[in-house]
Amino acid sequence: LTHKEKIKLSIMITQKKTIIITGASSGLGKALAINYAKLDNHRLFLFGRSKERLQETYQLCCSYNTETH
């Protein structure tokens, strides 16, 4: 990579992304939420039908020190 490409890549990695996930209480939505939480540097907004199961996903995501709402 050229110096310019390295700087551009560095900026892309450090930018915080906002990710909205529907269906985060189970299945694919839950898996996506957890995987994005593991990647760090993301702001997650989780939505789901089951309040109890959504709370579980929320707590798992928070355990990775990811900003989760």
Q: Residue 12: what pLDDT? A: 60
Tell me whether residue 56 is exposed, middle or buried, using C-beta atoms within 10 angstroms of its C-beta: 0 to 12, 13 to 18, 19 or more.
middle
CA 17 to CA 15: how far, in whole Å? 6
CA 29 to CA 35: how far, in whole Å? 10
Q: Residue 51: what pLDDT? A: 95
| 1-41: pLDDT as tens digits | 787 777 666 666 556 788 899 999 999 999 999 998 988 77
Q: Residue 16: what pLDDT? A: 77
Q: Supply the pTM of this predicted model.
A: 0.75
CB 25 within 8 A of CB 54: yes
Backbone angles phi, psi at 22, to 5 degrees: -95, 150
| 33-55: pLDDT as tens digits | 999 898 877 899 999 999 999 99
